Amino acid sequence: MDTHDFRRLGHELIDWVADYRERIAEYPVMSRVRPGEVAAKLPAEPPRRAEGLATISADLERIVLPGITHWNHPGWFAYFPSNTDLSSVLADLVSSGLGVQGMSWQTSPAATEVEDVVMEWLRQMLGLSDAFTGVIHDTASTATLCALLCARERSSNFSQDRGGLQAEEAPLVVYASDQAHSSVPKAAHLAGFGADNLRLLETDDDHALRLDALETAVREDVAAGRRPCALVAAVGTTATTALDPLAGMAQLAARHGLWLHVDAALAGTAMICPEQRWMWEGVERADSVVLNPHKWMGTGFDLSAYYVRDPEHLVRVMSTDPSYLRTAQDGLVRNLRDWGIPLGRRFRALKLWFLIREHGVEGLQARVRRDLGNAAWLAEQVDAASGWQRLAPVPLQTVCLRHVPPALQDDEPALAVHNLAVADRVNRAGRSYVTPSLLKGRQMIRVSIGALATEREHVEALWRELRGAAVALPGARP
Ligand SMILES: *Cc1c(COP(=O)(O)O)cnc(C)c1O
């Protein structure tokens, strides 16, 4: 493609994206295509001759859009917010346009230095002390894997330089709660700890890790000759945004020499508001912290922020330092290939740089407070409505609720069927999208608030829709 065509089509596609965002509320939030429907509209074989992009806009409209679930829709209450502020769309365009690899400082100094500075800005915004140094990863899953690899190497005094875990005498053990995100067991498996050495501990009535259960598990492992290695604390679990008792966990981690990793993938964004920071009291004692600006904050996917206390340890675990990549600048600058798993790195920092400059810290704080207020409002409605139940505290932006008609009160299977039907009815109507989900065997409807476009009126509309669906279903009334 030459620059002439790029300019013409580029302007057209910017308009297309802008039009899409302007009319996004008109689409059914959840895509209605059936499996195979999108693929069936595409030729099975690639074009043999150049066909050009003359019809691409029409094809995006006809083939792609029907197969899109609209995460930036104001009626988005499913999974978690995946906010993609338009400023970060432009940043991604610039990143692709520059087409650089930021694996080392020399391969594009600006890619490293803009990242250095915006991660420092973000650290200040979160109220983390300057004992932490940040690096951008693709996802929290990757960051958590890095954390467990670093924990493994610290506990084993660099077993990777010898026979690896395979040559260790005592098995190393990882602890988290049974509400930990699936990326935690996945990281423990991939880092070679083995399922037998992962403790997913029971949680309390608020779905937070129980310190007494943790203490007992650690003591039993020590008595059995195993070596406690890492502890993952969730600040905002995925199911309910439960807050693990971080301060107590930090004390215990210090006492037993455990690596403490804080998974604040979603909730970390709230910490830009000083009044929310009680939620992660104790974070200063963590070895590593991850949060995802690509969820609630507004940088488009993917941009995960990983902070560590001991960068030298991270680099020692991650660095391979082949001589062909060595540059004269080593020692003076960061070579970010040594701060994570992949060698090649996109220029992701632009997205955070654009976002923070576009909104300012105060603008971002105001939006977080809006969303927290909307969630508190919905929680109040649920608590005040007869026949409705809230299944978890609402410290953040997620409300876990269900409809409990008197006739079904003690019938868990019937309640499950009923609430699945309520969620299904709301989702099919297309104005809102919620996630039906199981919480310790109980069927709930999970309402995750915080899309950029979601105002109070959209939360009010959802609450009307939920109540309407609940009474419209057979068997809902006694
Ligand atoms: C979303 C989430 C993750 C996973 O995030 P990715 O960036 O998709 O890997 C991990 N932990 C928690 C608590 C989350 O909410």
Q: Is the pLDDT of residue 365 over 70?
A: yes
Q: Is the pLDDT of residue 328 over 90?
A: no
Give 140 Cα–ligand 1 centroid separation in angstroms.
5
Range in 316-325, 331-340, 393-402 with the lowest mean pLDDT: 316-325
Give 270 Cα–ligand 1 centroid separation in angstroms.
15
Residue 290 CB less than 6 A away from ligand 1:
no
User: Among 142, 292, 348, which residue has the most ligand 1 atoms within 8 Å of its CB, making it the best to mutate?
Assistant: 292
Task: Give the pLDDT confidence score for residue 320 in this predicted structure.
Answer: 80
Q: Which atom of ligand 1 is nearest to the CA of 143?
A: 9
The SS3 call for residue 260 is strand
Q: What is the mean pLDDT of the chain?
A: 96
User: Among 238, 299, 304, which residue has the most ligand 1 atoms within 8 Å of its CB, making it the best to mutate?
Assistant: 238
Question: Which residue's CA lies nearest to atom 2 of ligand 1?
Answer: 265
Q: Which atom of ligand 1 is nearest to the CA of 180?
A: 13
Give 467 Cα–ligand 1 centroid separation in angstroms.
30
Residue 84 CB less than 6 A away from ligand 1:
no
Those residues whose C-beta lies under 8 Å from the C-beta of residue 446, and which sit 6 or more positions away, are 239, 398, 399, 400, 434, 435, 436, 437
Q: What is the 3-state secondary structure (H, E, C) of 446-472?
A: EEECCCCCCCHHHHHHHHHHHHHHHHH
DSSP assignment of 24-91: GGGS-SS--PPTTHHHHTS-SS--SS---STTHHHHIIIIIGGG---TTSTTEESSS-----HHHHHH
Q: Is the pLDDT of residue 323 over 90?
A: no
Q: Which atom of ligand 1 is nearest to the CA of 292?
A: 7
Q: Is the pLDDT of residue 476 over 80?
A: no
Q: Identify whether the C-beta of residue 249 lies closer than 8 Å to the C-beta of residue 233.
A: yes
- State the pLDDT confidence band at 11, using cuts at 50, 70 and 90: very high
Give the whole-angstrom CA distance, residue 472 versus residue 255: 56
DSSP 8-state class, residue 289: E
Residue written as tokens 């330092």?
Answer: 321
Q: What is the bridge-based pairing of β-strands 442-448 and 433-439?
A: antiparallel
Rounded to the nearest 5 degrees, what angle is found at the Cα of 476, between the Cα atoms of 27 and 462? 30
Q: Is the pLDDT of residue 142 over 90?
A: yes
Task: Give the pLDDT confidence score for residue 473 in this predicted structure.
Answer: 85
Residue 238 CB less than 6 A away from ligand 1:
yes
Q: What is the pLDDT of residues 229-288, one digit of tens each?
A: 999 999 999 999 999 999 999 999 999 999 999 999 999 999 999 999 999 999 999 999
- State the pLDDT confidence band at 324, using cuts at 50, 70 and 90: low
Give the whole-angstrom CA distance, residue 38 versus residue 351: 30
Residue 137 CB less than 6 A away from ligand 1:
no
Give the whole-angstrom CA distance, residue 312 versus residue 417: 53
Residue 263 CB less than 6 A away from ligand 1:
yes
Question: Which residue's CA lies nearest to atom 4 of ligand 1?
Answer: 140
Cα–Cα separations (whole angstroms), residue 79 to 51, 218, 237, 433, 459: 39, 33, 12, 9, 15
- State the pLDDT confidence band at 478, using cuts at 50, 70 and 90: very low
Those residues whose C-beta lies under 8 Å from the C-beta of residue 133, and which sit 6 or more positions away, are 119, 307, 308, 309, 311
Give 113 Cα–ligand 1 centroid separation in angstroms.
26
Give 143 Cα–ligand 1 centroid separation in angstroms.
10
Give 352 Cα–ligand 1 centroid separation in angstroms.
18
Those residues whose C-beta lies under 8 Å from the C-beta of residue 126, and which sit 6 or more positions away, are 268, 271, 272, 291
- State the pLDDT confidence band at 84, using cuts at 50, 70 and 90: very high
Across 63-73, average pLDDT = 98
Task: Give the pLDDT confidence score for residue 82 in this predicted structure.
Answer: 97
**Number of C-beta neighbours around residue 206 at 10 A:** 11
Residue 292 CB less than 6 A away from ligand 1:
yes
Give the whole-angstrom CA distance, residue 283 versus residue 345: 28
User: Among 266, 396, 397, 398, which residue has the most ligand 1 atoms within 8 Å of its CB, making it the best to mutate?
Assistant: 266
Residue 234 CB less than 6 A away from ligand 1:
yes
Determine what percent of the chain is predicted with pLDDT higher than 70. 97
Residue 304 CB less than 6 A away from ligand 1:
yes
Give 88 Cα–ligand 1 centroid separation in angstroms.
20
Across 107-122, average pLDDT = 97
Binning the chain into helix, strand and coil, the percentages to the nearest 5 are: 50, 15, 35
Where does residue 17 rank: exposed (0-12), middle (13-18), buried (19+ CB within 10 A)?
middle
User: Among 183, 209, 266, 279, which residue has the most ligand 1 atoms within 8 Å of its CB, making it the best to mutate?
Assistant: 183
Give 198 Cα–ligand 1 centroid separation in angstroms.
19
Could you give the domains of the chain? 3-68 (1.20.1340.10), 100-346 (3.40.640.10), 356-472 (3.90.1150.10)
- The four Cα atoms 36, 41, 45, 48 give a dihedral, to 10 degrees, of -160
Across 13-29, average pLDDT = 97
- State the pLDDT confidence band at 455, using cuts at 50, 70 and 90: very high
Exposure string for 148-171, b = 16+ CB within 10 A, e = fewer: bbbbbbbbbeebeeeeebeebeeb
Give the whole-angstrom CA distance, residue 95 versus residue 101: 10
Residue 87 CB less than 6 A away from ligand 1:
no
Range in 44-53, 136-145, 348-357 with the lowest mean pLDDT: 44-53
Task: Give the pLDDT confidence score for residue 327 in this predicted structure.
Answer: 60
Q: Which atom of ligand 1 is nearest to the CA of 264?
A: 13
Q: Which atom of ligand 1 is nearest to the CA of 266?
A: 15
Q: What is the pLDDT of residues 208-226, one digit of tens each?
A: 999 999 999 999 999 999 9
Task: Give the pLDDT confidence score for residue 321 in this predicted structure.
Answer: 75
Across 180-197, average pLDDT = 98
Give 289 Cα–ligand 1 centroid separation in angstroms.
12
Q: Which of 119, 132, 126, 137 is nearest to 279 (CA)?
A: 126
